[in-house]
Amino acid sequence: MIFDILLLSLAVIFIGGGLVLVKQLFKLAFFVQSFGSLLLTIVGIFVVASREDSGAQFTDKFHPQFGIDPLSGLFLIVLGIVAIPVLVFSGSYLDSDSKRDRVIACLSAAFIIILAGTVCARDPITLLGGWELMTIIPASIILIAHGNDKSVRRSGFIYVAITHIGGVGTWIAVILLAKYGVMGGGTHLHEGSPIQIAIVLSSLIGMGTKAGLMPMHVWLPRAHPAAPAPVSALMSGVMINIPIYLLIRVLVYWCRPLPVWVGIVVLTLGAVSAVGGVVYALFERQLKKLLALSSIENMGIITLGLGASLALTAHGKNDWAAIALAAALLHIINHSIFKSLLFLSAGTFEKTAKQLHIDRLSGLVHSLPVVGVSFFIGVMAISGLPPLNGFISEWLTIQSLIHVSTYGNFADGTIGAISLVAMAATVTLALFCFTKVIGLVLLGKEQFPRKKESSDSLLMGISTLFLALLCIILGLIPALYFGRLMQIAPWSSNKVSLLVLNLPGTGSLSPLCLGAILISGTFVLFLLRSNRSAKAAPTWLCGQKLTSKLYWSGSGFTKPARMILEPIIRPTRKITRVEELGITQSIEYEGEVPHLIESKLYSPISTWFMKVATIIRRVQSGSLGSYAAYLIGLIFVLLIAFRLGIL
């Protein structure tokens, strides 16, 4: 029954995706699709709440099967809840008159169906097919949207190339799982057996690449910003969660029990991605690229939760392992909500300001009040501030890491402590990074003239506001749904109480109380403060007038951090001074924070490959005579080999 509703919702999205090609039905089609996504969300919520499987079970056979269980249901919720606002947003973001935009809209409907199909796939062949299409569809959208731009074509190429090279890992893992009958649940692998290790390592590489974990992340900051805003939101909000879904399937469900070192490896990957992602986001100047880098950071936080869960299971601490896994799942939900919110807002900013260089956007909250305030809330959530949703999942992740340190022995206890340091640094760096974003983009003097309010911006406002409200609601009532998330773990664990997250070994967390005190206190103090007269005055600058030339830039704001991190991130800078008769006429400043993994790890490898390819290419002369000579040569070699008795 519930499976039929799932099929129905996908059919509705399919019909909506077809209707979108008709110019007259453009807006209606998006509403049809968002209705389908709503059904998808309801199906997900129902499956997670009732804990009932529906449809087929996992099988090792190579014929298509679909089904849902609570873990798939959770990812369907994530997909649906992001897709609804994204589709509503697309209705006004994409232009119904442009044929290109209509094709993009159609493809994004296909993208949603493929994402749902991958999550519900129950056999190896559908899983791998969905996995490949999940890469190819956004790549084609990127090419359709900006195919004329050479640098975008290059980004698209790098995206497809790297995810495919990495994707080999996924293929190996899935095929091995099917071959040894692990996927269907028929056999259990022994702890530390070679097959188990092969599966674990290849899936870490394959799925880690697609999830954008460092150091396999180089495609992500190129591909995500290149897509149109709604597709970027789907990519960063939903697509990169799918590899995490598969990773959870492989590591938590299929390959149990795992040796302790797997947890250590996963924690290390998470810690590196979290810190690395946010450090590069801090120094990034293009808004969408910054958001993409921050996705790497958040994937890192999710991976930390997953790693903590693996390490804790290895020590038999099932309660905390379930909490850590639920923390990772909760951060997946939260990240998909606020990241799609931020990407959608970035799309609106791009429409208004025609560019996304954060130093050149300013005061956008004046011309876009609704989207601006939603963006503000999203940023507070992603910075992990109470009482919003990001705070809850980050708090839970930190608690899980502490418990890794508590229960672990020397090796994983130490890695747990290092991850704690990483997590602490990540949280503060994220605050640094996103205060810069709000300050530069939303606040300050308005740079662009206010546009007339139209129904288009209304749809954009509604969709971002919806996501912002979700950030607040999920932040206030975590205990209502957290117990359900804990039950997704394949082992049983204790329940948590309602309204207050009272976990063992922590002080309790009661976001409702925190929120009530914060809001009422601020309100009262603000009233007290406002009943005094206020004197109008310009910004104090030692008597100077504040002009936009005196505005701080993002690079200036982050300079102290850049100087302190210099030994690690190696920023470059070039100052050119034009002098005439001993008087400086102008100064040009160029500064950059290079991505070291690209220049030090990937560039040498690709140059080496190109060199080898050049040598091999000499063999291909193109003339018929030389190929005939190769054949004759081959026959001679074979004859000699036959004579010598080798063959």
Residues 4-63 that bind other proteins (CB under 8 A): none
| Binder among 194, 449, 507, 567 for other proteins (CB under 8 A) | 507
552 binds other proteins (CB under 8 A): yes
Q: Which stretch binds other proteins (CB under 8 A): 14-22, 104-112, 120-128, 504-512?
A: 504-512
505 vs 633, beta carbon nearer other proteins: 505
Place of tokens 């801090």: 282
| Binder among 223, 558, 569, 595 for other proteins (CB under 8 A) | 558
633 binds other proteins (CB under 8 A): no
165 vs 513, beta carbon nearer other proteins: 513
Whole-angstrom distance, CA of residue 266 vs CA of residue 564: 28
Whole-angstrom distance, CA of residue 240 vs CA of residue 336: 9
Whole-number minimum distance, CB 384 to other proteins, in Å? 7
Whole-number minimum distance, CB 171 to other proteins, in Å? 39
Q: What are phi and psi of 275, to 5 degrees?
A: -70, -45
Binding-residue total with other proteins (CB under 8 A): 80
Contact yes or no for 293/222 (Cβ under 8 A): no
| Binder among 50, 98, 494, 522 for other proteins (CB under 8 A) | 522
Q: Give the pairing of strands 583-592 and 54-55.
A: unpaired
172 vs 438, beta carbon nearer other proteins: 438
Helix (H), strand (E), coil (C) string for 398-464:
HHHHHHHHHHCCHHHHHHHHHHHHHHHHHHHHHHHHHHHHHHHHCCCCCCCCCCCCCHHHHHHHHHH
571 binds other proteins (CB under 8 A): no
318 vs 502, beta carbon nearer other proteins: 502
| Binder among 286, 318, 435, 447 for other proteins (CB under 8 A) | 435
Whole-number minimum distance, CB 533 to other proteins, in Å? 5
3-state secondary structure of 503: coil
CA angle 180, 184, 186 (to 5 degrees): 65
Residue type for position 70: P
Q: Give the pairing of strands 67-68 and 572-580.
A: unpaired
478 binds other proteins (CB under 8 A): no
Whole-angstrom distance, CA of residue 520 vs CA of residue 541: 34
Whole-number minimum distance, CB 272 to other proteins, in Å? 16
Which tokens go with 78? 């994530």
21 vs 512, beta carbon nearer other proteins: 512
DSSP state of 192: T
Contact yes or no for 587/575 (Cβ under 8 A): yes
508 vs 599, beta carbon nearer other proteins: 508
CA distance to 8, 30, 75, 347, 619, per residue, from 16 (Å): 12, 6, 21, 23, 52
29 vs 364, beta carbon nearer other proteins: 364
Handedness of CA 502, 506, 511, 516 (dihedral sign): positive
Residue type for position 152: V
| Binder among 50, 508, 621, 626 for other proteins (CB under 8 A) | 508
Whole-number minimum distance, CB 538 to other proteins, in Å? 5
543 binds other proteins (CB under 8 A): no
Neighbours of 584 (CB within 10 A): 9
Contact yes or no for 336/277 (Cβ under 8 A): no
Whole-number minimum distance, CB 293 to other proteins, in Å? 17
Residues 365-394 that bind other proteins (CB under 8 A): 365-366, 380, 383-386, 391
Residues 211-270 that bind other proteins (CB under 8 A): none
| Binder among 129, 413, 571, 591 for other proteins (CB under 8 A) | 413
Place of tokens 């007038």: 545
Whole-angstrom distance, CA of residue 540 vs CA of residue 39: 55
Q: Which stretch binds other proteins (CB under 8 A): 35-43, 173-181, 233-241, 560-568?
A: 560-568
Whole-number minimum distance, CB 446 to other proteins, in Å? 8
59 vs 383, beta carbon nearer other proteins: 383
Whole-number minimum distance, CB 519 to other proteins, in Å? 9
Neighbours of 293 (CB within 10 A): 27
443 binds other proteins (CB under 8 A): yes
42 vs 561, beta carbon nearer other proteins: 561
Phi-psi map region of 40: left, alpha, beta (phi>0 left; psi -120 to 50 alpha): alpha
| Binder among 50, 187, 193, 409 for other proteins (CB under 8 A) | 409
DSSP character string of 555-583: HHHTHHHHHHTHHHH--EEEEEEEEETTE
Which tokens go with 644? 């010598």
Residues 414-433 that bind other proteins (CB under 8 A): 414, 417-418, 420-421, 423-425, 427-429, 431-432
Residues 484-503 that bind other proteins (CB under 8 A): 500
624 binds other proteins (CB under 8 A): no
228 vs 444, beta carbon nearer other proteins: 444
Q: What are phi and psi of 573, to 5 degrees?
A: -150, 150
Q: Give the pairing of strands 572-580 and 54-55.
A: unpaired
Whole-angstrom distance, CA of residue 67 vs CA of residue 55: 4
DSSP state of 509: B
52 vs 566, beta carbon nearer other proteins: 566
Binding mask 308-347 for other proteins (x = CB under 8 A): ----------------------------------------
| Binder among 63, 150, 528, 582 for other proteins (CB under 8 A) | 528
Neighbours of 633 (CB within 10 A): 10
Q: Which stretch binds other proteins (CB under 8 A): 193-201, 247-255, 298-306, 508-516?
A: 508-516
1 vs 542, beta carbon nearer other proteins: 542
355 binds other proteins (CB under 8 A): no
84 binds other proteins (CB under 8 A): no
345 vs 405, beta carbon nearer other proteins: 405
| Binder among 61, 179, 445, 495 for other proteins (CB under 8 A) | 445
Which tokens go with 313? 């299971």
Contact yes or no for 26/16 (Cβ under 8 A): no
| Binder among 469, 541, 568, 641 for other proteins (CB under 8 A) | 541
